[in-house]
């Protein structure tokens, strides 16, 4: 026992006494941009790294204390923000890291982002908390042309339950629509995170919108209008629930073919032909149960002025789909009233066998008429 004790106390004769303070190097923290920086870009500049250790916490806060969300790398040696920063705003950064021995270091910095020369506003078509039909597309429009379409499109973040791929497609430089490959599955919950604030849409022109909205997909209803047979078959969740006699566009004014989405509902509305290129041909102040299918003026609506024998036998409209109805929209027993009460924004009405072209995908919310391979190309 004595020998063991002496041996343990004696140690290795070749070992050198370790100087005081000689241990693991502290973690080196780097914050970009440097402390006091001005006119910092709102994207691509802010980053925090750790060398010789890991980051244990990063906080980036604006003047009101609101924190910028961000994420660590898998190795926890770098952090980056998840979204653009606001323009002309001072941010404070606090980074905490530790080395392999758990020795902690803290670093801080403040910087101010670049001011915007101008801003763009963003508008969308689905109210927060809405229940919509399976054909609804999210359409976002801007009040100024967008040059950096990829960056702006990526700043509209869509998540779904159950998960489904959603792509955006640009129509020109001021509108982007989003949809899945097929109609939404009924019951899908959709969350949209608009993260356009601080995104540079064009040279010196930045977005301002930062908001979360959501919508729910209701039951699945698709109605097929056969213009040649003068009928509409209403299918809900895969079951045919009613066939309705209709009148469609007369020769020379045929109804568009294709898949169209209901975007507005009006129990009564005025329809003046002068607003859609039919000056003087009609002006009806009280069209009942009208639902918009296109920007150019296609509706599916009640019709009280045609004879009852017209529905199911002749096409006499100026391009709309007409259903038998009563003046005043007060008779719930008419086909027009039934279809109105059983339809919601986002339902699909598909027209077939009409002697006209397929409607353009941007004439309303009608992107379902574009192939999935083309949808999203060139964003």
Give catalytic residues, as residue numbers. 301, 320
What per-residue confidence (pLDDT) applies to 1?
A: 35
What per-residue confidence (pLDDT) applies to 277?
A: 75
Q: Strand pairing of 348-352 and 221-226?
A: parallel
Q: Please tell me the total number of residues recorded for the chain in this structure.
A: 379
Two tokens at 10?
Answer: 């004696």
Determine if the peptide bond prior to 33 is cis (ω within 30°): yes
Query: Domains in the chain, please, with CATH?
Result: 25-113 (2.60.40.3780), 118-217 (2.60.40.3710), 221-369 (2.40.440.10)
Helix or strand or coil: residue 120?
strand
Name the residue among 294, 272, 300 with its Cα closest to residue 285: 272
Residue 193 is given by DSSP the state: E
Give the pLDDT means over successive 10-residue stretches in the chain (379 positions).
34 39 85 98 98 97 95 97 98 97 96 98 98 98 98 98 98 98 98 98 98 98 98 98 97 96 96 75 89 96 95 95 97 98 98 97 97 82
Other CB atoms within a 10 A radius of the CB of residue 157 amount to 14
Name the residue among 229, 196, 193, 167 with its Cα closest to residue 367: 167
User: Residue holding tokens 């301002």?
Assistant: 208
What per-residue confidence (pLDDT) applies to 22?
A: 66
Other CB atoms within a 10 A radius of the CB of residue 233 amount to 16
Sign of CA dihedral 221, 225, 226, 230: positive
What per-residue confidence (pLDDT) applies to 123?
A: 98
Please name the residues in contact with 224: beta carbons below 8 A apart, sequence gap of 6 or more: 232, 233, 235, 349, 350, 351, 352
């Amino acid at each position: 026992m004595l020998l063991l004790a002496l041996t343990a106390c004696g140690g290795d004769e070749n070992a050198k006494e370790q100087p005081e303070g000689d241990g693991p190097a502290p973690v080196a923290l780097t914050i970009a941009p440097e402390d006091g920086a001005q006119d910092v870009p709102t994207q691509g500049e802010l980053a925090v790294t750790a060398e010789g250790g890991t980051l244990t916490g990063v906080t980036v806060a604006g003047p009101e204390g609101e924190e910028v969300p961000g994420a660590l790398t898998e190795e926890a040696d770098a952090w980056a923000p998840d979204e653009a920063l606001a323009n002309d705003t001072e941010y404070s950064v606090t980074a905490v890291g530790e080395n392999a021995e758990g020795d902690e270091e803290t670093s801080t910095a403040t910087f101010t982002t670049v001011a915007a020369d101008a801003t763009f506003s963003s508008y969308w078509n689905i109210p927060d908390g809405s229940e919509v039909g399976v054909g609804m597309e999210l359409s976002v429009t801007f009040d100024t042309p967008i040059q950096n379409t990829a960056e702006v499109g990526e700043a509209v973040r869509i998540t779904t339950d159950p998960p489904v791929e959603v792509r955006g497609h640009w129509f020109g430089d001021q509108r982007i629509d989003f949809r899945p490959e097929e109609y939404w599955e009924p019951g899908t919950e959709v969350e949209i995170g608009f993260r356009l604030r601080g995104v540079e849409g064009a040279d010196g022109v930045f977005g301002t919108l930062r908001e979360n909205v959501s919508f729910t997909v209701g039951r699945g209803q698709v109605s097929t209008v056969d213009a040649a047979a003068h009928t509409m078959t209403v299918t809900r969740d895969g079951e045919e629930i009613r066939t309705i006699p209709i009148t469609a566009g007369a020769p020379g004014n045929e109804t568009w073919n294709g898949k169209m989405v209901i975007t507005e509902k009006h129990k009564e509305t005025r329809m003046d032909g002068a607003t859609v290129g039919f000056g003087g041909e009609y002006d009806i102040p009280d069209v009942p149960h009208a639902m918009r299918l296109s920007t150019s003026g296609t509706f599916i609506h009640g019709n009280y002025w045609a004879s009852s024998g017209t529905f199911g036998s002749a096409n006499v409209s100026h391009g709309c789909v007409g259903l038998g109805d009563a003046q005043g929209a007060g008779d719930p027993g008419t086909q027009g009233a039934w279809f109105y009460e059983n339809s919601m924004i986002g339902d699909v009405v598909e027209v077939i066998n009409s002697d006209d072209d397929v409607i353009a995908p941007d004439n309303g919310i009608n992107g379902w008429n574009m192939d999935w391979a083309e949808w999203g190309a060139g964003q």
